[in-house]
Structure 1
Amino acid sequence: MTEEEVRRRPGGRGARVRQAVLDAAVDALVEHGVTGFSFADVAARAEVNETSVYRRWRTRENLITDALLAVSDRRVPVPDTGSVREDLYAFATLVVEYLNSPLGGALARAAVITVEDPELAAAREEFWRSRIRSAGVMIERGVARGELRAGTNPRLALEALIAPLHSRALLTREPLDEDLPRALADLVLDGLGARDGGRAATA
């Protein structure tokens, strides 16, 4: 088997090395932030050759973006409480906790980094599309339970929920306080005309 085949084989050595580098990159970001981030430090933490890191990611910005996007879906899982209102509240709460953390703050900054590598740029875009799709199940469940009208757009609902959080974290730097998730969940569902306050309709 060639080195290229090993690198591409799912679950092979290449995949393990990539994950080790991404984990090391996250640790480096938490400890040093973006300005103190370097290939040399990440390579040392991951116990790999620095040239291997450079060959795969090319720039610090590419590696920062890839690492943060790889970990964010683990930190913000999609809740299933049985109520669309509580789902959106719980999801927004997780986003607030994430953005208030050192790692989440780094993610907010990484979101505006230009990625020159077309493959990594496409991967980042696909990640966000995938996250919206996976989180969209909260809206779909609400429709199925009769809490929301048929035809409710999951993407628009989720963008309305989380965009203000990212706006505060990235643009205005206003605090993401503990009351904000509930207020946003209520605002979104009121705008969607949620039935029975976002609780499942009963016969």
Structure 2
Amino acid sequence: MVSRPGGRTARTRTAVAAALQEELLEVGYAGTTIERIARRAGVAKTTLYRRWGSVGQLVVDLFHEAAAVEIPVADTGSLEGDLRALARSAVTLLLHPRSRAVFDIVVGEAVHDEAARAALTDFFAGRVANAAPIVARAVARGEIPANTDAAEVIRQLGAPYYARLYITGDPIGEADADRAAAVTAMAARAGLLA
């Protein structure tokens, strides 16, 4: 069967994604079932079972799809400014209840589920590729050494707020994004992220 953009398959995926997010917000992961999602989305539960098999796989598949979406990368004229804009964007996304609910599940599932681990790995690889122009522009401006590793820059940028969320359980905000950007830019300028 060939899926058509804007066709029934696309409408079903959109309805299921919206229903999943609503269920996660309303009853949490433990209370979310294929039956509840199907009812809310207005589709047959057999469609969901055939396509995804479980709530966990549904979450992973939709997360994997969302991870492929490119995020606009700011060009502020400086490495620190670009990193600040990127970090603020990431923190804003993580603070959005719908995004956070799905992200929390995928992070939790990635510990023991290969598909979830792959989705999370692909998500971060996509984010690194998407943000690589920030590093390339900084190298071209002479702000950082030519051998700066873009992946390491982006990992260092995200590590503080992901650690707060998933390790220490501390809240995150714009100040954390700004601090992460400043520290990462300083490390890159010093040649520590080569």
Provide the TM-score with structure 1 as the length reference.
0.78
Q: How far has the Cα of 1:19 moved from its partner?
A: 3.0
2:59/2:105 contact within 8 Å kept? no
Does residue 67 (structure 1) correspond to residue 62 (structure 2)? The answer is yes
2: distance between equivalents of 1:133 and 1:157? 11
Residue aligning to 2:25: 30
Comparing 41-50 with 180-189, which one deviates more in the overlay? 41-50
Match of 1:56 in 2: 51
Q: Work out the CA distance in 2 between the residues paired with 1:170 and 1:17.
A: 32
Instruction: Give how far 1:81 is off.
Output: 2.5
Unpaired runs of 5+ residues, structure 1, are: 196-203
Q: How many residues align?
A: 189
Task: Pick one of 107, 113, 120 that aligns with 1:111.
Answer: 107
**Deviation of residue 139 (structure 1)?**
1.4
Q: 1:77 to 1:170 in 2, by over 3 A?
A: farther
Shift of the 12–127 alpha-carbon distance from structure 1 to 2, 3 Å rule, reads farther
1:162 to 127, 149, 158: 158
Which residue of structure 2 aligns with residue 78 of structure 1? 73
Paired amino acid for 1:36: G
SS at match of 1:176: coil
Q: CA shift at 1:116, angstroms?
A: 4.7
Conservation of the 8 A alpha-carbon contact between 2:91 and 2:177:
yes
What is the rounded CA distance, in whole Å, between the counterparts of 2:125 and 2:82 in structure 1?
19
Letter of the 1:103 counterpart: R
SS in 2 for 1:51: helix
CA shift at 1:153, angstroms?
Answer: 0.6
Q: CA deviation at 1:70?
A: 3.7
How far did residue 89 of structure 1 move? 0.5
Aligned ranges 1:38-49 → 2 under 5 Å: 38-49=33-44
Q: Which among 140, 146, 162 is matched to residue 144 of structure 1?
A: 140
For residues 54 and 155 of structure 2, the distance between their equivalents in structure 1, rounded to whole angstroms, comes to 30
Shift of 1:97: 2.0
Q: Provide the secondary structure at the position in 2 that maps to 1:182.
A: helix
* TM-score (norm. length: structure 2): 0.81
- Deviation (angstroms), 1:59: 1.6
Pick from 151, 165, 182: which aligns with 1:186? 182
RMSD after superposition = 2.8
Candidates 78, 87, 92, aligned match of 1:92: 87
Output one character per residue of 1:143-195: Cα deviation in whole Å (capped at 9) or x when no partner. 22322221211100000010221111111111213311111111111111169
1:101 aligns with 2:96: yes
Displacement of 1:75 in angstroms is: 9.7
Q: Is the 8 A contact 2:67 2:122 kept in 1?
A: no
